[in-house]
Structure 1
Amino acid sequence: MTRFLIICFFTLFFTSQSGFSQTEVPLLIATDSVKSDEMNVLAPSKAAFYSALVPGLGQVYNKKYWKVPIVYVGLGAGIYFYADNNKKYKRFRDEYKKRLNNTYDPEDPYFGRLDNSRLIDGQKFYRRNRDLSAFITAAIYILNVVDANVDAHLMQFNVNENLTVRPDLYQNEINYKHNIGLTLNYNF
């Protein structure tokens, strides 16, 4: 037990002394031998937090402004279809309840021609579509957060002309057929 406490004490002492805190930690990455760029290692978590707080704010933080309308159109469409299917589900449910209580209008232009099995089928259809719309809306929201996080991670990679991957079409010297491949070039 004392050995466990000693290990915990040293672990906490050395991690707190070595600078592992919740503040921003700049990381210097040498891109060339002459200059270096300062990189924020907490930028992906910030972008994900902002995007979870307000959808699209993580994309603004990453300076990918063109993604914000896509996020809001996706969320707006999901919320619209959820509300529309919920309204239709409630209409079918209320009409079915009226049928059970014998307080319905047989001359109703919309529901007058439908029997009880059609009303039950309509309820099932619109409830399933309502639930599917809620699931898709939640998936778009989660995808918004994941996109902000991944995009912030990918902004930290060094992508320049010294490291390239290109498609390559070359002729095989044995049978003289054309082959397709990828060429990886790294220039120092």
Structure 2
Amino acid sequence: MKNSILFILCLLFSGFIAAQTTDSLSVKKTEELVVDQTVAKEPYDPLRPSRAAFYSAVLPGLGQAYNKRYWKIPIIYAGMAAGIYFHIQNDKDYDRFRNAYKRRLAGFTDDEFFGDGETPIISNERLINAQETAQKNKDVSIIVALAFYLVNIVDANVDAHLRQFNVSEDLSISPNFEIDPIRVQANYGLSLKFNLE
């Protein structure tokens, strides 16, 4: 009996000590200052892409200057200049072949493609083929120059769109590694953070 009374007293005493420790716990209130380290964003301008495209249409390369992509301007002008240069060169060749062919039809044998002898170095059929080839090359070189002009406009528009594209921390994918406290196992995963404001 003494043992049972002693046992009951020990239980009551331990309960009293446990009650004292839970009651004596206090919650401390702490305040933290959180500094937001976001970079100041330019306000979204919906007309910026169309403005850049218009500038590039008026003067090639001006849209790239508006977007501050100065390194693209020499590429645009080099492509357009190459197209114009080859158009002029093929036009000169076309005129040479055409004039030589006309002189042969008129009965002259003194063109640059006839040579010194009695037989021509280049036949009349070859002069006709050379004229057709020069005409095709003229057309292709104009198409190349126009393609660089159009790519200049499209590039200015797309670049202006992409400069305003949201690449903030509100949208991010990061690996996630957690340990499950119940099963004591590692859980692997990917977390996607998507914040709409």
> Shorter chain as normaliser: what TM range?
0.5 to 0.7
Partner-residue secondary structure (3-state), 2:44: strand
* C-alpha distance in structure 2 between counterparts of 1:93 and 1:35, whole Å: 65
Compared CA separation, residues 103 and 66, structure 1 to 2 (3 A): same
Q: Does 1:186 align with 2:193?
A: yes
Alignment map for 1:11-160 (pairs within 5 Å): 37-105=42-110, 108=112, 110-112=113-115, 113-160=121-168
Compared CA separation, residues 33 and 65, structure 1 to 2 (3 A): closer
Offset at 1:82? Answer: 0.8
Amino acid at match of 2:107: N
Partner-residue secondary structure (3-state), 2:140: helix
Q: Is the 8 A contact 1:51 1:148 kept in 2?
A: yes
**Bigger-Rg structure (1/2):** 2
Offset at 1:115? Answer: 0.9
* C-alpha distance in structure 2 between counterparts of 1:161 and 1:68, whole Å: 32
Offset at 1:162? Answer: 4.4
Amino acid at match of 2:158: V
Normalised TM-score (structure 1): 0.66
Partner-residue secondary structure (3-state), 1:159: coil
* C-alpha distance in structure 1 between counterparts of 2:165 and 2:173, whole Å: 15
Compared CA separation, residues 165 and 87, structure 1 to 2 (3 A): farther
Amino acid at match of 2:150: I
Compared CA separation, residues 119 and 148, structure 1 to 2 (3 A): same
Identity rate, percent: 49
Compared CA separation, residues 68 and 160, structure 1 to 2 (3 A): same
Offset at 1:100? Answer: 0.8
Compared CA separation, residues 34 and 127, structure 1 to 2 (3 A): closer
Give CA deviations for 1:116-159 in whole Å, capped at 9, x if unaligned: 00100100111111101111111111110011011111111111
Partner-residue secondary structure (3-state), 1:158: coil
Q: Is the 8 A contact 1:163 1:184 kept in 2?
A: no
Partner-residue secondary structure (3-state), 1:41: coil
Aligned length: 140
* C-alpha distance in structure 2 between counterparts of 1:139 and 1:184, whole Å: 44
* C-alpha distance in structure 2 between counterparts of 1:85 and 1:165, whole Å: 55
* C-alpha distance in structure 2 between counterparts of 1:73 and 1:148, whole Å: 17
Higher strand share: 1
Offset at 1:163? Answer: 3.0
Offset at 1:184? Answer: 8.2
Q: Is the 8 A contact 1:95 1:104 kept in 2?
A: no
Partner-residue secondary structure (3-state), 1:79: helix
Give CA deviations for 1:16-37 in whole Å, capped at 9, x if unaligned: xxxxxxxxxxxxxxxx999764
Amino acid at match of 1:69: P
Partner-residue secondary structure (3-state), 2:43: strand
Q: Is the 8 A contact 1:162 1:185 kept in 2?
A: no
Q: Which runs of 5+ in 1 are unaligned?
A: 1-31, 169-182
